[in-house]
A and B are shown apart, each in its own frame.
Chain A
C-alpha cells in the first residue's frame, strides 16, 4: 500500500481526489506527467493544523493510483476519479434548516506589495481580482437579498473601495478598474477590520455581519492592539473568514476561530477558488450561538416586505423616486405607489423593503434541500430494477466493472436512489439535482 493522503480533506480540487484514491498499484507511466505537476504545486503550503504539511508527509507515488482497464485505457479510471470528487460534495449533511439569508458582507482585499508575487499565475493580484469577480456574481446568485461592500488594505491603511450595496453591477464596477487598485506598501489588518466594522455598525440585528479577507501578506502593520479589535468583533457578532495566499498566521487563525468564521490557506489556484467559494452558501445560523455567549436565537425577527407591480415598457412615463428620471418601466411600491427603478431596494418614500417574489424564492432551496441519494450497491433486493436513469433516461450499465471500489458512497453500478420515491438516478443527474435543480424529478418536491 502506498502511504496515504497528504493534502487536505475539505478541498474539492482535483489534487485531493488523486491523493485520496487508494488503489493498489499496477501503474504505468501514463498518468505520470500530470500527477507530478500537481505534486509540485502544492509543495510548500499546508492547511489545517491537525494535518501534516505537504513537505512533512512521506513521498506519495500518486500515479500508482491510476489503473488501466482491460483495454489498456485510462478513461474509466479518470472518470471514476471525477465522479468521486463531485459526489463527495454531496455527502455533506444537508439538514441545517436555519441559515442566515439576509447577509451583509465586507470583502477585504489585500492590496499590499506582496500581492505582486508570481507564485500564482499571472500574479496573486490578478488572480484575486478575477476570483473576486466570480465570487461576487455567484454570491449574489445564491444570496439575492445580501449586500456587499469592498475595503482594500494598502500602505498601512484601510481604504473604502466600494460602498455596501445590493446591486452586483455596482460592486463589480468598484473593482473593475485595475489601475486604481495597484498594490503597494504594507497591509494593516486592524485598520481594515475597523473600517469594515464601522460600516456595518448600523445594521439591524437580524442580518448577518461578515468580513471575508483575502490575505496575501505575512505581516500586518497595525496602529494598536489587534486583539482589542478582535474582542470588538466578537461583541458585535461579526464573523471573519480569511483566505490566506501565503501561509498560516496565528492572528489570522485566531480571528477566524473566535468569531466562528473559516480559515484556509490556498495550496494552488484551484484550491484558492474552492476556499473562496466555500464561503458563498449562507452560513448555518447555529454557528452564531457558538460565538462567545450570544443568546441562542439572536437573529430572528419578522420583517415587513412589499411585493411590487412591474410596469411594462409601454406604460406612460413617470419620474422615478430614486434617480428622478423620466421612465416607462419600473416597479410600484405597494404601500405608497412610488416608482422605483430596480428591486430589491428600500422604498425611498416610505422605507418599505421592496423585493420581488423570485428573489425570495431563490433562497428557498436552502430551506427545503433534496435528500441525499443513496448509492445502490447491488440489485439483489430490487425486484424490477429500472433499465435507465429516471432523470435523463440514460441506460445504466449492466454489471459492475471488475475494479470497482465501493467506498466513499460510490455505487459500482452508477445508480443512486432517492430515499423517498425509490427511483434510480445516474451520477450526472445526482449531482445536477442536488447542485442545481434542488428538486427531485421523481418526488416533484
Chain B
C-alpha cells in the first residue's frame, strides 16, 4: 500500500429494487439502512488505509445521477458539521454528507419519478469525468497540479437493478473509455440476477464481478475483495468470473443471438436477414438476402416463427440470465 489510490463508488439507489431487496421473504434480506451503514464502514476504512486515499461517491437515482460526496471538494463545507468527541472528524464529515444528500434526494423523489429507469449510465460517465479531471490536472488550477496524481483509479458499482437493454451502447462506450483511462471497474451485485453488461465491464477492465450469496454479510465481502487496490489484488486471490457472455443483443428485437446478421456499413446486428438496415437506411442487395435466407440455420426460423413478436419481459429475462434464446443452436 505504498501509493495512494482513488476510489469512485456508484450506488444504485432505486427505491423499488431496494424495497424488494429488503422483503423478509428473501433468504437473506438487506434493507437499505443496513446496507448504508455497512457501506459507510467500508468508506471509512478506505480513507483510513492511507492519508492520501481519495473517494468520490455517486448516486444513481431514478432518472438522474448525483455526486453525493467527494473528498476534494468537501473541504470548503467542513465547518458546517458539528464536532463530536467520539468520532474521528473526517469519518464524521463523510458519513453525514453522504447520509444527508441521500436523504434529500430520496425525499425529493415524486411518486411517478420513482419508476423511471435508473441513471446508472450518467453516474458511471460522471465518475469517469471525475477521474479524468484528477488524472489530467491541466487547466484546473495549480492546487490540482501539486497534489499527487492518484495512480490506481477504480470504480466500484453497487447494483440492484436489472440491465436496461437501451443502455447497452452507452455502457459499452463507458467501458471502453475506462479501458483507455486504465480504470478498473468492480461490480458488486447485491440483489437480482446477473447483469450481462456489468459482467462485461468487469471482465474488460480487469476488475472483479461479485454476485453476493449472502447480502447481509456485505461488509465482509467488501473488505476482503474490494478494499485492496488493484495493485495488491494481484497478490490475493480475489474471486473472478469464469464464464462471460459475449453474445450481443440484436437491434430489431433486443433478442440475444449467437449467429447474427450484421450491416457492413454501420455494424447493426439483426436476428434475421432484413432488406433495409434500420439504423443507417442502407438497402441490401437482393442476391445476398436470398443467399442468406437459403443458408440460414433451420432452428433459427423456428425460433422466429414461435416468438416473432418482441415480448419485453421475455427479452428482459434473457438479458438478465444471460442465457441464449433456447432453441438457437442446440437443435
Q: Could you list which residues of chain A lie within 8 angstroms of chain B, going by C-beta atoms? A: 79, 82-83, 97-102, 145, 206-207, 285, 297, 299-310, 312-314, 331, 334-335, 352, 356-358, 360-365, 367-368, 389-394, 427-429, 432-433, 436-442, 444-445
Instruction: Please judge, given known A-B contacts A307-B248, A335-B329, A392-B133, whether A302 and B288 are in contact too, CB under 8 Å.
Output: yes
B289 with A307: CB separation less than 8 A: no
11 contacts between A and B (CB under 8 A): A99-B266, A101-B265, A297-B282, A299-B264, A300-B265, A308-B246, A310-B243, A391-B125, A391-B130, A392-B126, A437-B125
Instruction: Please judge, given known A-B contacts A98-B266, A102-B264, whether A441 and B129 are in contact too, CB under 8 Å.
Output: yes
A361 to B280, CA, bound (A): 16
Does B170 sit within 8 A of A, measured CB to CB? yes
Chain B residue contacts of A334, Cβ below 8 A: 258-259, 329
Chain B residue contacts of A303, Cβ below 8 A: 261-264
Smallest distance from the beta carbon of B209 to chain A beta carbons, Å? 13
Instruction: Please judge, given known A-B contacts A300-B284, A437-B174, A437-B177, whether A101 and B130 are in contact too, CB under 8 Å.
Output: no
Chain B residue contacts of A436, Cβ below 8 A: 128, 132, 177, 180-181
Q: Contact flags (1/0) for B56-80 with A, using CB distance below 8 Å?
A: 0000000001010010010000000
Chain A residue contacts of B174, Cβ below 8 A: 437, 439
When C-beta atoms are compared, the residue in chain A nearest to B196 turns out to be A357
Q: Within the complex, which residue of A299, A357, A358, A432 is in contact with B265, where a contact is CB–CB below 8 Å? A: A299
For the complex of A and B, the 5 pairs showing the least CB-CB separation, nearest first, are A357-B248, A391-B129, A312-B242, A206-B264, A361-B172
A367 with B282: CB separation less than 8 A: no
A429 with B139: CB separation less than 8 A: no
Does B140 sit within 8 A of A, measured CB to CB? yes
A429 to B279, CA, bound (A): 28
Does B42 sit within 8 A of A, measured CB to CB? no
B260 with A307: CB separation less than 8 A: yes
Instruction: Please judge, given known A-B contacts A437-B125, A437-B173, whether A300 and B264 are in contact too, CB under 8 Å.
Output: yes
Does B37 sit within 8 A of A, measured CB to CB? no
B132 with A442: CB separation less than 8 A: no
Most chain-B Cβ atoms within 10 A of its Cβ — which of A102, A306, A432? A432
A441 with B122: CB separation less than 8 A: yes
Binds A, one of B218-226, B267-275, B310-318: B267-275
Instruction: Please judge, given known A-B contacts A306-B258, A335-B259, A335-B329, whether A364 and B267 are in contact too, CB under 8 Å.
Output: yes
Does B176 sit within 8 A of A, measured CB to CB? yes
A302 with B273: CB separation less than 8 A: yes
| Number of chain B residues close to chain A: CB under 8 A | 67
B266 with A352: CB separation less than 8 A: no
A363 to B263, CA, bound (A): 12
Chain B residue contacts of A352, Cβ below 8 A: 259
Chain B residue contacts of A99, Cβ below 8 A: 265-266
Chain B residue contacts of A307, Cβ below 8 A: 246-248, 257-260
A360 with B133: CB separation less than 8 A: no
Chain B residue contacts of A439, Cβ below 8 A: 121, 125, 169-170, 173-174
Does B87 sit within 8 A of A, measured CB to CB? no
When C-beta atoms are compared, the residue in chain A nearest to B128 turns out to be A437
Does B81 sit within 8 A of A, measured CB to CB? no
Chain B residue contacts of A389, Cβ below 8 A: 129
A314 with B140: CB separation less than 8 A: no
B132 with A98: CB separation less than 8 A: no
B125 with A367: CB separation less than 8 A: no
B67 with A393: CB separation less than 8 A: yes
Instruction: Please judge, given known A-B contacts A308-B246, A309-B246, A392-B126, whether A427 and B139 are in contact too, CB under 8 Å.
Output: yes
B140 with A394: CB separation less than 8 A: yes
Chain B residue contacts of A438, Cβ below 8 A: 173, 177
Smallest distance from the beta carbon of A336 to chain B beta carbons, Å? 10
Smallest distance from the beta carbon of B278 to chain A beta carbons, Å? 12
Smallest distance from the beta carbon of B250 to chain A beta carbons, Å? 10
B259 with A444: CB separation less than 8 A: no
A358 to B284, CA, bound (A): 24
B267 with A363: CB separation less than 8 A: yes
Q: Within the complex, which residue of B67, B139, B167, B263 is in contact with A302, where a contact is CB–CB below 8 Å? A: B263
Most chain-A Cβ atoms within 10 A of its Cβ — which of B129, B173, B242? B129
A432 to B136, CA, bound (A): 11
Q: Within the complex, which residue of A102, A310, A313, A368 is in contact with B169, where a contact is CB–CB below 8 Å? A: A368
Chain B residue contacts of A300, Cβ below 8 A: 263-265, 277, 282-285
Chain B residue contacts of A358, Cβ below 8 A: 172, 175, 200, 204, 246
A103 to B264, CA, bound (A): 10
Does B305 sit within 8 A of A, measured CB to CB? no
Instruction: Please judge, given known A-B contacts A306-B259, A432-B132, A439-B173, whether A301 and B125 are in contact too, CB under 8 Å.
Output: no
Does B119 sit within 8 A of A, measured CB to CB? yes
Chain A residue contacts of B122, Cβ below 8 A: 441-442, 444
Instruction: Please judge, given known A-B contacts A357-B246, A357-B247, A360-B269, whether A429 and B133 are in contact too, CB under 8 Å.
Output: yes
Instruction: Please judge, given known A-B contacts A297-B283, A307-B260, A428-B136, whether A356 and B246 are in contact too, CB under 8 Å.
Output: yes
A192 to B204, CA, bound (A): 39
When C-beta atoms are compared, the residue in chain B nearest to A368 turns out to be B169
Q: Within the complex, which residue of A302, A357, A445 is in contact with B170, where a contact is CB–CB below 8 Å? A: A445
Smallest distance from the beta carbon of B55 to chain A beta carbons, Å? 14
Does B138 sit within 8 A of A, measured CB to CB? yes
Does B1 sit within 8 A of A, measured CB to CB? no
B259 with A304: CB separation less than 8 A: yes
Smallest distance from the beta carbon of B306 to chain A beta carbons, Å? 20
Most chain-B Cβ atoms within 10 A of its Cβ — which of A299, A365, A368, A393? A393
A299 to B280, CA, bound (A): 13
Chain B residue contacts of A97, Cβ below 8 A: 266, 279-280
Smallest distance from the beta carbon of B142 to chain A beta carbons, Å? 8
Chain B residue contacts of A361, Cβ below 8 A: 168-169, 172-173, 176, 248
Chain A residue contacts of B259, Cβ below 8 A: 304-307, 334-335, 352
Chain B residue contacts of A331, Cβ below 8 A: 246
A98 with B264: CB separation less than 8 A: no
Q: Within the complex, which residue of B121, B139, B262, B265 is in contact with A305, where a contact is CB–CB below 8 Å? A: B262
